[in-house]
Chains A and B, each alone.
Chain A
Amino acid sequence: MAHFPKPAAGSWTQNWPELGTAPVNYEDSINPEHFKVEQQAIFKKTWLNVGRVERLPKKGSYFTREMPSAGPGTSVIIVKDKQEVVRAFYNMCRHRGNKLVWNDYPGEEVSGTCRQFTCKYHAWRYSLEGDLTFVQQEGEFFDLDKGDYGLVPVRCEVWEGFIFINFDNGAAPLTEYLGDFAKGLEGYPFHEMTEHYSYRSEINANWKLFIDAFVEFYHAPILHMKQAEKEEAEKLAKFGFEALAYDIKGIHSMVSSWGGMSPPKDLSMVKPIERILHSGLFGPWDRPDIEGIQPDELPPAINPGRHKSWGTDSFEFFPNFTLLFWAPGWYLTYHYWPTAVDKHIFEADLYFVPPKNLRERLSQELAAVTFKEYAFQDANTLEATQTQIGTRVVTDFPLCDQEILLRHLHKTAWDYVNAYKNNDNGSTNGKHDAKASQDEAEKDAAHV
């Protein structure tokens, strides 16, 4: 029986008929050739979030990002220039192609502050704006115009303090790409939440499988059962999970959920440490003292139904940026960076309002520790899934109504792949039959 009302179409899934209700084929998560196309069609065509502006506190602050998802070796410098504009460049010297910014190990990301970039090889220098400003023994070169040898720029735009890059120079502007969900999130006090915990993991599973795990909470009462007190866990498992609402706007999606645990109705529902520290998976129960996080102050996209029992919203910005808000006033981001069909780097970042005292600090500590315990379980389950779907013993899997966003994710990724194959430059405007193209891809794959 549904505890929360569903759309008039009868189910969330049928509310978006293009998603269908048939079992979903997972060839897109196990086929290495398909992954190569995804790299071109998705990770070189879409806006990718590479971090927040707080990482660039002043003029000359920079950090590098390794972007193997867009192709082996791809590396980008993100820098705040003299006018305080955030820019991105390929991390490559124009002289003979040496990697420009790195320390010790060329494959590792670095950050810092500088006045200019100097190549380690022959000392060519570039301004923060990317202009070539100095050539060692310039007179030895032939008709070299420094104006022709600036760093190669990468599209870079900022939304609400989130820095995005795009390897496609023809891509539409960022805010247009992010669309209505992003518009509806503007004004959330991201800039107040600078107490930052960052996690990283190498996962032996396709990048979409981890998103699958985070856009459905159908698994939560089961996989994470042990984390709740026994009696509570049994209740949760019996009740199962139902979202308050799902929404899809173009290529992006969101799920809105209840969350009665912060604070819990009954203290016996939670573990002893949670009782002392007033915190847990859902975050510190006591809201920090800032504007913009009270239920009636939230921007319209968060808790869109204005439900009293609202607890968390998770926005999935295609392809690989999850933005998750908890009612008590903190947020997380997840990123999934594929490096092979069955491997990706998972990044998670937790952002809190800086604590004023130890009580608040330990309360955040418990939320962070709890996050990691849960993520461990999620991560290991993925490897177990990847190895099995890779056998192709079963190829199509039934997805329930609470797994609607998985359908949407896989379909969106297919749309990009198909559009790319149809050679219309990665635009996803054209409607096409995903199933037909899927068969085609399988045929292609068979020829490899």
Chain B
Amino acid sequence: MSKLPEEFADLERFSDWCLPTEEERYSKRLNSTMAEMQELYDAGMARLEDIMVYVDARVPLKGMPKDAKALVHLGQSIVMVSFPVEVWKQPRVLDSGASYIQLIKEPVV
């Protein structure tokens, strides 16, 4: 069964990136290859504007139907992979060594 609204069937192959929390998205980033993230980035960037238009025309941020929520989470993952792809050319922050910064509170959609 598809997770995303049918208008976004082309992005369905990235549906394992539909992750509600930053912790999940960050750990998927660290455990992905650059090729995988580049693919999501290329396909996702081309559709990011459409995602915002679609959601904002139909549903409020609070109380979204499941498929719209999944789409939002995918949008958040596109933001997540943008740094590795656009800046670092690797999953980890450059020169970040052993340091770790944990997000402990976020507004989850």
Could you say which residues of chain A place their CB within 8 Å of the CB of B75? 358, 362
Q: Does A146 contact B (CB under 8 A)?
A: no
Question: Nearest chain-B residue to A359 (Cβ)?
Answer: B52
Interface set, chain B 1-58, CB cutoff 8 A to A = 45, 48-49, 51-52, 55-56
Whether the pair A359, B45 counts as a contact (CB closer than 8 A) is: no
Q: Which of A271, A273, A361, A377 makes the CB contact (< 8 A) with B94?
A: A377
Is there contact, CB below 8 Å, between A366 and B87?
A: no
State the main secondary structure of chain A at its contact with B: helix
- A357 on the interface (CB 8 Å rule)? yes
Nearest Cβ distance between residue A342 and chain B, in whole angstroms?
A: 14
**Complex Cα–Cα for A197 and B108 (A):** 10
Tell whether, in the assembled complex, residue B99 and residue A273 are in contact, meaning their CB atoms are under 8 Å apart.
Answer: no
Q: Is B72 in the interface zone, CB < 8 Å from A?
A: yes
- Which chain B positions have C-beta within 8 A of A200? 101-102, 104
With A271-B87, A362-B75 given, is the CB distance from A372 to B97 under 8 Å?
no
From the candidates B76, B86, B96, B109, name the one contacting A376 in the complex (CB within 8 A): B96
Assembled-state Cα–Cα distance A365/B103 (Å): 12
Within the complex, the shortest CB–CB distance from A39 to chain B, in Å, comes to: 24
Nearest CB in chain A: distance from B98 CB, A: 7
Bound-state CA distance A375–B101 (Å) is 8
Interface size on A, residues (CB 8 A): 41
How does the 8 Å CB contact mask read for B74-95 relative to A, with 1 for contact and 0 for none?
0110111011001110000111
Which of A199, A362, A383 touches B52 (beta carbons < 8 Å)? Answer: A362
Q: How close is A50's CB to chain B, nearest CB, in angstroms? A: 15
Whether, in the assembled complex, A272 has its beta carbon less than 8 Å from a beta carbon of chain B, the answer is yes
Q: Given known contacts A271-B86, A271-B87, A359-B56, is B99 in contact with A372 (CB within 8 Å)?
A: no
A425 proximal to B (CB < 8 A): no
| Contacting residues, chain A, for B104 (C-beta < 8 A) | 198-200
Please state if A383 and B99 are interface contacts (CB–CB under 8 Å): yes
A379 contacts B101, CB within 8 Å? Answer: yes
Query: In the complex the two chains form, is B86's CB within 8 Å of A273's CB?
Result: yes
Nearest to B75 among chain A residues (CB) is A362
Does A195 sit within 8 A of B, measured CB to CB? yes
With known contacts A276-B49, A377-B95, A357–B56 Cβ distance under 8 A: yes
Cα of A272 to Cα of B109 in the assembled complex, Å: 24
Find out whether the CB atom of A271 lies under 8 angstroms from the CB atom of B61: no
B101 near A226 with CB under 8 A, answer no
A356: chain B residues at CB < 8 Å are 61
Q: A383 touching B76 by the CB < 8 A rule? A: no
List the interface of chain A (C-beta within 8 A of B): 195-203, 226-227, 271-273, 276-277, 346, 348, 354-359, 361-362, 365-366, 368-370, 372-373, 375-377, 379-381, 383-384
